[in-house]
């Protein structure tokens, strides 16, 4: 098997250094949701409805089940970037896998 060309190794090193810059990463998504409640005559039932919120809703899958948890405004400020970090992490892993596949297929046919 031939060694990968230096351009490939440079591309791998570039991905690795970007991976090293990713901070903490939380799984799932953080959404802002507005909701109606069950209280009769509440403003959220008016026409037009004025919904409650926004609430920060963290949704993720655990053992195939969707789990949601509400975060406070303060928690959303602190942990919000961690969800973006997780997306960046996945994008970089995909990039590394695509690069490795190209190298493999070029070398092995």
Q: Does 37 bind Zn ion (CB under 5 A)?
A: yes
Q: Does 42 bind Zn ion (CB under 5 A)?
A: yes
* Spatial contact of 32 and 53, defined as CB atoms under 8 Å apart: yes
- Smallest gap from Cβ 59 to Zn ion, in A, equals 22
DSSP state of 108: H
Give the separation between CA 18 and CA 16, rounded to whole angstroms. 5
Q: Is 44 in the site for Zn ion (CB under 5 A)?
A: yes
Stretch of 3-11, 44-52, 60-68, 91-99 lying at the interface with Zn ion (CB under 5 A)? 44-52
User: If residue 60 lies in a helix (H) or strand (E), which one and from where to where?
Assistant: strand 52-62
Residues that bind Zn ion (CB under 5 A): 37, 42, 44
């Amino acid at each position: 098997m031939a060694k990968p060309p230096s351009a490939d190794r440079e591309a791998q090193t570039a991905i690795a250094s970007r991976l090293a810059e990713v901070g903490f990463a939380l799984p799932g998504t953080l959404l802002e949701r507005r909701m109606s409640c069950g209280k009769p005559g509440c403003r959220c039932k008016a026409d037009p409805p004025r919904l409650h919120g926004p609430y920060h809703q963290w949704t993720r899958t655990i053992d195939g089940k969707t789990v949601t948890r509400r975060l406070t405004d303060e928690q959303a400020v602190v942990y919000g970037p961690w969800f973006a970090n997780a997306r960046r992490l996945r994008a970089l892993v995909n990039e590394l896998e695509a690069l490795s596949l190209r190298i493999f297929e070029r070398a092995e046919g």
